[in-house]
Chains A and B, each alone.
Chain A
């Protein structure tokens, strides 16, 4: 008996047995469920706010803030509006994050590489560092540094000083160069030097590919950049005036200064995150097969070329994605500054929240700030990662 071949179900099969139909149904259900939940929460919030008499909206941003901020990159007083306070908070967050990321990368890389040292003592020290700093909550570390800076350092009146640097409960004071046109021309010189160095590298690379003659790809560009910067500085009149800190009656006057809050946040975040970065670097380096380095030596590459052309490009591929998430972690952890009173965006939002009662708006601002930073960092790192990924055919 011949079995009639089963006809495949037609495209539009509105039955429970059609996968497409079930898929559609599940999705409609999910959208309805989530939409319903959001509506329920929003409705409750609106109702609660109406009953408790809480105003909503972002109009409070234009009202005077009414509180002072301990440290800011630009002038602020309590008559300034809230939006300016938030702006200062964001700038303070970014200041800690950017400086912290740079220092963390340096320290973490050093420690990660140190774990491959031929010196057993250094190796052990690096491992002990990683194990200790990784296993203690970062908040606790921040609180501890803050305690050290504010309780155990000498009073301002008898600040420790090394040359023009003063360290006390009031923070760190240091000589600050006085801004002059010479600095501007110096920076312009740097910029020009970078452009020249880039062209030099392109030319040297082209020459190498054409003739096989190798030119310095690192030191010559570095010298070009430094020389151009120095030239610009000299053309601008070579300014060399510093705003020196001076011990006054009650405080260290003049000069640049870092508050203990800033130092505690920075130091705590850098030391904590560096432990993770060190692990990332270590795993990246150890992921490159041993044969790669032997093959490079067999080809007669120098140690520097071996590192630059063979080992690093392969290690970077492993290093970059987890490194990105460590940078993002550092940025997000900078929100813990609120615990020791550093005026970052969370701290400002917390104050604004307590003053105005606009919880929804203030928390939305915090989330927006961090989401923007996170997304832009991951987009940038994604671009860089794509650049260093394996070029597959």
Chain B
């Protein structure tokens, strides 16, 4: 007799382990095994010690009263009064107090121009015209002596406007030099290749500070008798030549990444050398290296802090200028440093995020 088979459902499988949410995340990322747990405990311990102390110093016991006596009171943490008291001197350097709207407007214009240059919609030949107009306005506003503005000589320029102007102008002016040098290093003509290689290796082999010393001490000797060039222009020239060497290497990297077929296709179409470079190779190569160019600019932006050593008072230098001579505020230099650190960080961090974003944008054509 056949056995009757009674249908029995298999026991339900356990629900899948929850992998989302805070607790599973912590389990996987903080307490996965004993090593991880120990690390978590140590790091948490350090953070729990450092962060409350920092908050205590920077916010809870801090004072923002622009009065050095308030800072000397016992139990007071950070003395942000040094910033509220001196911020105009730190940001604008020795620019005359009453005229400080001029560097403000000029810098905002320049910043707007930089933002526009970072937008792909503006990447056409009109941007060059825009640059000439805005940079002209910048110098007119800063230097004055036109439209009834009083004259402010360059030795009184300083602070953030100088930092932004030096970095952006030297970057833009180095661009044509860099393209020429990058093409020169790949040229078939040995003499031109040698000159370009020597230039790039020479500049990249020495620190920026020696280039600035050269601009500051040797440049006046280079000029013919009776010709004097303003120190700011000399430093700008030095920065430009320095940036051009680094930029040339970036652009050369882009040129090298171009497949040979592009040049051959252009040659078979009968294009000349310059037509090939400007219509075929450079547009592709430059688009490829835009992120590196932005990174280069970040480096240059940070490097402008060095011009303080040859007595141009950009942001770092103007902080020293504001505090070194003032016995009341000198002890609170650390707070001043924190302030300009935040400014530098904000600019550089924003640019590095932009670099990541633009990298995705320019690579879009390669993704399918």
Interface of A toward B, CB cutoff 8 Å: 23, 26-27, 30-31, 34, 41, 44-45, 47-49, 51, 117-123, 125, 131-132, 134-140, 143-144, 147-148, 151-152, 332-333, 335-336, 338-339, 346, 350, 353, 359-360, 363, 366-367, 370-371, 374-375
Contacts and interface: CB of A to CB of B under 8 A. Distances in A.
A366 B213 contact: yes
A120 B207 CA distance: 38
Given A135-B345, A137-B344, A359 B218 contact: yes
B86 interface: no
B217 interface: yes
Contacts of A336: 207, 209, 306
Given A44-B223, A139-B305, 5 more contacts: A45-B222, A118-B29, A338-B309, A339-B309, A374-B204
Contacts, number: 154
Interface string B177-206: 000000000001111100100000110111
Size class of the contact patch on chain B:
35 or more
B235 to A, nearest CB: 15
Contact of A335 (B210, B225, B341): B210
Contacts of B352: 131, 134-135
Nearest to A49: B221
A300 B209 CA distance: 54
Given A48-B221, A359-B221, A151 B331 contact: yes
A131 B331 CA distance: 29
B59 to A, nearest CB: 19
A41 B222 CA distance: 5
Contacts of A140: 305, 316, 337, 340-341, 344
Contact of B333 (A118, A119, A137, A151): A151
Contacts of B349: 131, 135
B218 A360 contact: yes
12 contacts: A118-B29, A118-B36, A119-B36, A121-B30, A131-B352, A137-B305, A144-B337, A333-B207, A336-B209, A338-B209, A346-B213, A359-B218
Contacts of B23: none
Given A147-B334, A335-B207, A359-B218, A26 B225 contact: no
Given A118-B32, A119-B39, A144-B334, A30 B225 contact: no
Contacts of B220: 48
A219 B214 CA distance: 52
B43 interface: yes
Contacts of B298: 135
Contacts of B56: none
B116 interface: no
A125 B32 CA distance: 18
B172 to A, nearest CB: 21
Contact of B205 (A27, A49, A360, A371): A371
B155 interface: no
Nearest to B209: A335
Contacts of A137: 302-303, 305, 316, 344
Interface of chain B, helix or strand or loop or mixed?
helix
Contacts of A339: 308-309
A336 B306 CA distance: 8
B40 interface: yes
B210 A26 contact: no
B224 interface: yes
Contacts of B344: 135-137, 140
Contacts of B43: 119, 121-122, 125
B345 A346 contact: no
Nearest to A28: B191
B205 to A, nearest CB: 4
A143 B225 contact: no
B280 interface: no
Nearest to B218: A359
A371 B198 CA distance: 12
A143 B305 CA distance: 11
A44 B221 contact: yes
Contacts of A144: 334, 337, 341
Contacts of A51: 225
A34 B188 contact: no
A34 B334 contact: no
A374 B221 contact: no
A55 B205 CA distance: 28
Contacts of A49: 221
A225 B33 CA distance: 35
A367 B218 CA distance: 13
B157 to A, nearest CB: 19
Given A44-B223, A144-B334, A122 B39 contact: yes
A353 B30 contact: no
B320 to A, nearest CB: 8
Interface in B8-53: 25, 29-30, 32-33, 36, 39-40, 43-44
